[in-house]
C-alpha cells in the first residue's frame, strides 16, 4: 500500500498533469462556445458535453483552471529567467565534447550515474573521490581520477592544480559528494559531526574557490550543488545532515548573488539539486526505516537524469527529484502551526523506529 507521502506526490502529479494544463480547459471552452454542434456531432455527443460542462458553474470551474494553468506557465517562465540572470535567450555556447567537468564523489551512487551521463555526451570528466576508481571507468579515456579528501583544502588545491596542468580548466563543477548517518543530536559523535560538515558543506567552498575564478574570467561555467529535500524540511535523527543541506542551499543562493552582483559574470550558472531519499550504500544501514515511513526510495539514476537534463539545457535552475516534490520547498513559508504539524507527522514514525533500533 502506498505511503501517505507517495499518495500526496501522486495526487499533486495528477493535478499538475491534468488540471493545470491550460490547453485542456481552453479546448473545452472552445468546444462549448465556438464549435457548431453539428460539427461536434462527428466526434462527441453535443448534448452530453453541454449537459456536463455547459452549466455556468462548470464553465466557471474551467475558467478558473485555465487561469491557474496560465499563471503556472508564466510563473515557470519567469522563474527560469530569474535563475539565469533574466536571460530569455535560448542560444547555447556549450560544446559538450570540448567541456571538462569536475565531479566530487563520482565513483559511486548519484555521482557515478552523473559521470556516466556526461561521458555519454562526450564531456571529459575529472573525478575527485576517496573511493577507488571503478575498473570500468578506468578504461574510459575521457575519465580521469584524483584520490582527494575534499575536506582538506590543501588536497583540493593540489588536485585542482594537477587538473589544470594536465587537462585544462573545468567549465562544469558538480559538488556531489556527501555522507549521511542516522543519529540523534545527543548521540552524534564529535568526529562524525566534523566529518559530515566537512564533506557536505565546507568542501563547497574549497572546490568553488579553486574552479570558479576561471569560469568568471571566461564568463562561462556551471556550478551544480547536490543538496537534498532536507534543505527545506529537517529530518529527525539526522540534524547534522539537515543542517549541512540547508547550508548547501544557502551557499548556492549566496553564490548566485555574488556571481551576479560582485563578479558580473552572467554566463556562470548555478543549480541546486534536491532529491528525496536515494537508495545508495550510504543509506543502506537505515534504508528499511526510510521505506517504511516514506515509501519507495529513488535510485541514483532517478537523480542523475534530471541533473544531466539541466546541465545539457545550458541553463541554471532548481532540480527536484522527483519533480512532483517541488511543493515541499514552500513549507518554510507556511504558518508555524502548519510547519510543526508536518514535522510531527514526519517525525513520529521515524523517531519511534529509531528508538526501537537503539
Distance CA 293, CA 349 (A): 6
Of 232, 245, 256, 354, the active-site residue reads 245
Burial class of residue 315 in the structure, from the number of CB atoms within 10 Å of its CB (0-12 exposed, 13-18 middle, 19+ buried): middle
Distance CA 299, CA 291 (A): 13
Phi, then psi, of 128 in degrees rounded to 5: -110, 120
Give the CB-side neighbour count of residue 236, counting CA atoms within 13 A: 19
Of 241, 260, 292, 309, the active-site residue reads 241
Asked whether 240 and 181 are in contact (CB, 8 A), the reply is yes
Concerning whether 3 is annotated as a catalytic residue, the answer is no
Terminal C-alpha separation, the chain: 27
Concerning whether 63 is annotated as a catalytic residue, the answer is no
Residue pointed to by grid coordinates 535552475: 317
For residue 240, how many other CB atoms are within 10 A of its CB? 24
Give the CB-side neighbour count of residue 100, counting CA atoms within 13 A: 16
In the three-class reduction of DSSP (H, G, I as helix; E, B as strand; rest coil), residue 47 is classed as helix
Asked whether 116 and 125 are in contact (CB, 8 A), the reply is no
The counts of H helices and E strands in the chain are 14, 7
Distance CA 162, CA 138 (A): 18
Catalytic sites, residue numbers: 241, 245
Amino acid at each position: 500500500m502506498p505511503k501517505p507521502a507517495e499518495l500526496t506526490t501522486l495526487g499533486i502529479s495528477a493535478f499538475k498533469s491534468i488540471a493545470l494544463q491550460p490547453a485542456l480547459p481552453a479546448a473545452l471552452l472552445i468546444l462549448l462556445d465556438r464549435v457548431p454542434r453539428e460539427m461536434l456531432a462527428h466526434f462527441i455527443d453535443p448534448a452530453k458535453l453541454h449537459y456536463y460542462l455547459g452549466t455556468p458553474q462548470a464553465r466557471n470551474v474551467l475558467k478558473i483552471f485555465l487561469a491557474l494553468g496560465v499563471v503556472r506557465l508564466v510563473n515557470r517562465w519567469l522563474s527560469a529567467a530569474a535563475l539565469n540572470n533574466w536571460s530569455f535567450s535560448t542560444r547555447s555556447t556549450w560544446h559538450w565534447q570540448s567541456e571538462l567537468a569536475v565531479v566530487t564523489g563520482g565513483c559511486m551512487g548519484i555521482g557515478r550515474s552523473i559521470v556516466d551521463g556526461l561521458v555519454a555526451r562526450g564531456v571529459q570528466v575529472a573525478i575527485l573521490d576517496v573511493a577507488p576508481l571503478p575498473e570500468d571507468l578506468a578504461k574510459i579515456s575521457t575519465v580521469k581520477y584524483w584520490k582527494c579528501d575534499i575536506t582538506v583544502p590543501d588536497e583540493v588545491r593540489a588536485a585542482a592544480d594537477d587538473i589544470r596542468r594536465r587537462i585544462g580548466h573545468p567549465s562544469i563543477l558538480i559538488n556531489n559528494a556527501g555522507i549521511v548517518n542516522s543519529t540523534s543530536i545527543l548521540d552524534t559523535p564529535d568526529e562524525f559531526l566534523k566529518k559530515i560538515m566537512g564533506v557536505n558543506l565546507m568542501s563547497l567552498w574549497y572546490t568553488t574557490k579553486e574552479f570558479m575564478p576561471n569560469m568568471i574570467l571566461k564568463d562561462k561555467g556551471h556550478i551544480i550543488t547536490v543538496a537534498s529535500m532536507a534543505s527545506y524540511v529537517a529530518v529527525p535523527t539526522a540534524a547534522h545532515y539537515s543542517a549541512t543541506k540547508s547550508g548547501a542551499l544557502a551557499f548556492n543562493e549566496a553564490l548566485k548573488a555574488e556571481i551576479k552582483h560582485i563578479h558580473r559574470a552572467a554566463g556562470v550558472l548555478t543549480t541546486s539539486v534536491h532529491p528525496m531519499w536515494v537508495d545508495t550504500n550510504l543509506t543502506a544501514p537505515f534504508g528499511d526505516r526510510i521505506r517504511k515511513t516514506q515509501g519507495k526510495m529513488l535510485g541514483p539514476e532517478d537523480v542523475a537524469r534530471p541533473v544531466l537534463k539541466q546541465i545539457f539545457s545550458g541553463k541554471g535552475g532548481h532540480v527536484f527529484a522527483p519533480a512532483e516534490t517541488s511543493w515541499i520547498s514552500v513549507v518554510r513559508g507556511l504558518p508555524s502551526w502548519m510547519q510543526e504539524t508536518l514535522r510531527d507527522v514526519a517525525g513520529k514514525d521515524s523517531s519511534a523506529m529509531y528508538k526501537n533500533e537503539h
